[in-house]
């Protein structure tokens, strides 16, 4: 009987000890995480400079491309000449690939279809259809990269959130 009373009386103490251990481990484990919110990175409640973020990226080998793209969008937001030059190149690239894709569609029609609109040359039709589809995809991608001033900050935030997520995954893997 004494043993059961001893177990019952120690159960609340064990529960409190377990809860305290879990809370301490959670707070100690989450201290190294990097957070991003509207243009600022923080770690342990302290704001990080972009150089410190780059050092973390090099240390953990995570998010290099995303931080580069995020910085480019931030610079395009601040500099209208950089943004217009980038948009001009994307427009020319999209228009050129779209034009060549249109010529490919026309050639596909001429080479592959006879007077009654039947495909007579299947290999040429398949190759040209694949090529024109690829050119249209490249054209669409180039046109989608045209960015207004209002679009730069959300794109920057999306890239920097990916950086924070990748850094946190690498930190979590390093802690384990």
Cα gap 114→124, rounded to integer Å: 13
Q: What is the mean pLDDT of residues 22-28?
A: 48
Residue 162's pLDDT is: 92
pLDDT level of residue 6 (50, 70, 90 thresholds): very low
Whether residue 9 is predicted with pLDDT greater than 60 in this model: the reply is: no
Q: What is the mean pLDDT of residues 20-24?
A: 50
Residue 17's pLDDT is: 63
CA angle 84, 88, 92 (to 5 degrees): 175
Residue 13's pLDDT is: 59
Whether residue 28 is predicted with pLDDT greater than 50 in this model: the reply is: no
Residue with tokens 């190759």: 127
Residue 27's pLDDT is: 46
Cα gap 11→16, rounded to integer Å: 9
Cα gap 14→16, rounded to integer Å: 5
Cα gap 48→104, rounded to integer Å: 51
Beta-carbon contacts of residue 91 (< 8 Å; ≥ 6 apart): 142, 143, 146
Residue 161's pLDDT is: 92
For the entire predicted model, the pTM comes to: 0.60
- pLDDT tens-digit readout, 60-105: 888 888 888 888 888 888 888 888 888 888 888 888 888 888 888 8
Helices 64-78 and 149-175: crossing angle, nearest 10°?
160
Helix (H) or strand (E) holding 82: helix 80-112
Q: What is the mean pLDDT of residues 13-18?
A: 60
Cα gap 138→167, rounded to integer Å: 31
What is the strand order of the sheet 46-48 is part of? 34-37, 40-43, 46-48
Counting every residue written for the chain, the total comes to 176
Q: For residue 119, report the phi and psi dihedrals to the nearest 5 degrees.
A: -80, 120
> Beta strands 34-37 and 46-48: pairing type?
unpaired
Helix (H) or strand (E) holding 41: strand 40-43
Q: What is the mean pLDDT of residues 45-72?
A: 87
> Domain spans of the chain?
33-175
């Amino acid at each position: 009987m004494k043993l059961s009373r001893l177990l019952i009386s120690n159960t609340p103490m064990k529960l409190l000890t377990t809860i305290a251990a879990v809370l301490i481990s959670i707070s100690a484990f989450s201290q190294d995480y990097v957070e991003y919110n509207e243009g600022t990175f923080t770690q342990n409640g302290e704001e990080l400079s972009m150089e410190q973020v780059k050092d973390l990226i090099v240390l953990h080998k995570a998010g290099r491309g995303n931080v580069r793209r995020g910085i480019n969008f931030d610079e395009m937001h601040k500099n209208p000449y950089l943004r217009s030059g980038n948009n001009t190149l994307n427009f020319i690239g999209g228009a050129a690939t779209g034009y060549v894709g249109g010529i490919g569609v026309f050639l596909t029609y001429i080479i592959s279809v006879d007077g009654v609109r039947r495909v007579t040359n299947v290999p040429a039709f398949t190759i040209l259809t694949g090529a024109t589809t690829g050119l249209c995809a490249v054209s669409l991608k180039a046109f989608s990269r045209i960015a207004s001033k209002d679009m730069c900050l959300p794109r920057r935030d999306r890239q920097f959130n990916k950086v924070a997520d990748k850094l946190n995954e690498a930190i979590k893997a390093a802690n384990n």
